[in-house]
Homo-oligomer: A and B are copies of this chain.
Amino acid sequence: MHNKELLKGTLTAIVLKLLADKGEMYGYELAQKVKEMSGQKILLKDGSLYPALHKLSKEGWLEFREEHIGKRVRKYYSLTATGIAQEKIESENLKEFMRTLKDLLFPDFTFKLA
């Protein structure tokens, strides 16, 4: 991102949402998916993503299983029950924030969030 600060507070919502949609994903896959879906605009760094995944796991929102691909290890993360609830909260929160920001700064634009 151009302005790195804008991303702050959104990473949790992004991870939870993608996992809610995909069921389970591993770290590297998540970073690639975000990159692809954002048109190469959001480039999650290792130094951001892995600590975030650990933190969300510690919160009890994620769990993971390890898969061994040859000699390489993948950690597939998925939402726990608490995580599913949290995903809804975070998504609604972010939507609300975007609505508010839109009203404040871009009132003339169409911006419908159900």
Contacts and interface: CB of A to CB of B under 8 A. Distances in A.
User: Chain A interface residue count: which class?
Assistant: 35 or more
A97 to B, nearest CB: 5
Contacts of A94: 6, 101, 105
A103 B37 contact: yes
Interface of A: 1-10, 13-14, 17, 34, 37-39, 41-42, 91, 93-98, 100-106, 109-114
18 contacts: A2-B93, A3-B9, A3-B93, A3-B97, A6-B94, A7-B9, A14-B104, A38-B100, A38-B104, A39-B100, A42-B104, A91-B105, A94-B101, A95-B106, A98-B102, A106-B113, A109-B113, A110-B112
